[in-house]
Amino acid sequence: MKNELTLKANEFGLDEKQAETITNGLRQILKEREVLEAQYSEVIKSEICEENIPMFKELRLKIRDNRTKGINNWHKTNKEFYLRGGQFVDAIKRKESEVNERMEDNLLSNETHFEKLEAERIDKLRTERTNALLSFGVENIPSGLGEMQNDVYESFLSSAKQKHTEKLEAEKNAEQDRIAKEKAEAAEREAQRLENIRLKAEAEKREAEIQAENKKREASEKKRQESEARERKEREAKEADERAENEAKLKAEREAKAKLEAELQAKKEVELKAAKEADEVIQRELSKGDSEKVKDLINDLNSLKSKYAFDSDKNKKMYSEIQALLDKVVNHIIIK
């Protein structure tokens, strides 16, 4: 068995005799597969067409049975009896199965050729239809798009196009509205900016006028204060001069008054002394009974009375005293 020679029994802890015993039941299975391999070599070259599909399938199933019912059963049977040989038969199984699987895969590929083409067509159609729908903004792609009937798909696509057109129109209108709004807002901001510039200029002008007016008012106020200060200084100087003059005048008046009062007081004292002396003389003479002399004294007193008979308040008292003295003398004379 050339297929077995590629695997060495001693690598798995077995001798050649053990390996021969284990693989004995596999000979017939491999002989059957050799027949199938010969058939495979011819069938795999056949044209892929509808007529040959059953042939591909029939041979594939035979090769599969050779693997599953032959090799796999041999493997299962021998592995139950040989613990160490299990690894060996596993390796043989893998190697020999690969031959079968290769032929099966190729035959299955031929067998399902048209199915794959149809699947590829459906997948391609699904991709094309999906891309088309995505281009029109469809987010929820329906399932089974590749198998969908053309009239159903075209209706769905037409609806998607209509919605997409409406959406684009709405977006266009919204964009135009946005641009118009931005332009209006920009124009409003510019107008507001110009208005702010104008208001600022007016405010600065008004502030400058106010400052100029304040400076003018301050200058006028300063001039007024200086004038008032000057007038106040002149007035205070004049008032000081007047006070000094008045004080000097009052001082002179006080001094004159004091002098006059002193003179009057001195005169009064002299007159009182004279009156007192006269009274004493009169009393003395009266006591002597010299009426003629008393009369002379009275005449002297009347002369004195006439001499001091003026309205000065300072002489009224002295005048009153002289008058009282005369009355006393007269009354004395009359009584006698």
> pLDDT tens, 68-95?
998 998 888 877 766 666 677 777 888 8
What is the SS3 assignment for 45? coil
In this prediction, residues 228-241 reach a mean pLDDT of 88
- Give pTM, 2 decimals: 0.34
Q: DSSP letter for 52, please.
A: G
Output the pLDDT for position 90: 79
Output the pLDDT for position 259: 86
Output the pLDDT for position 250: 86
**C-alpha to C-alpha distances, 207 to 80, 193, 214, nearest whole angstrom:** 114, 20, 10
Output the pLDDT for position 42: 92
| Distance separating alpha carbons of residues 296 and 273, to the nearest angstrom | 19
| Distance separating alpha carbons of residues 103 and 59, to the nearest angstrom | 9
Query: What pLDDT, in 10s, does the model give residues 29-50?
Result: 999 999 999 999 999 999 999 9
Closest to 18 in 3D by CA, of 8, 27, 28: 8
| Of 219 and 293, more confident | 219
Using 50, 70 and 90 to split pLDDT, how confident is the model at 241? Answer: confident
Question: Is pLDDT of 61 > 90?
Answer: yes
| Distance separating alpha carbons of residues 199 and 102, to the nearest angstrom | 93
In sign, the C-alpha dihedral spanning 296, 300, 302, 303 is positive
Using 50, 70 and 90 to split pLDDT, how confident is the model at 193? Answer: very high
Using 50, 70 and 90 to split pLDDT, how confident is the model at 190? Answer: very high
Output the pLDDT for position 278: 63
Query: What pLDDT, in 10s, does the model give residues 153-184?
Result: 888 888 888 888 888 889 899 999 999 999 99
**C-alpha to C-alpha distances, 280 to 70, 267, 285, nearest whole angstrom:** 200, 19, 8
Angle at 262 between CA 260 and CA 264, to 5 degrees: 65
Query: What pLDDT, in 10s, does the model give residues 276-332?
Result: 776 676 667 666 655 666 676 667 666 665 665 544 554 566 666 666 766 766 665
Output the pLDDT for position 3: 46
Mean pLDDT (the chain, rounded): 81
What is the SS3 assignment for 175? helix
How many helices, marked H, and strands, marked E, lie in the chain? Answer: 10, 0
Q: Give the per-residue SS3 of 57-85.
A: HHHHHHHHHHHHHHHHHHHHHHHHHCHHH
Least confident of 59-68, 193-202, 253-262: 253-262
Q: Percent of the chain at pLDDT above 70?
A: 78
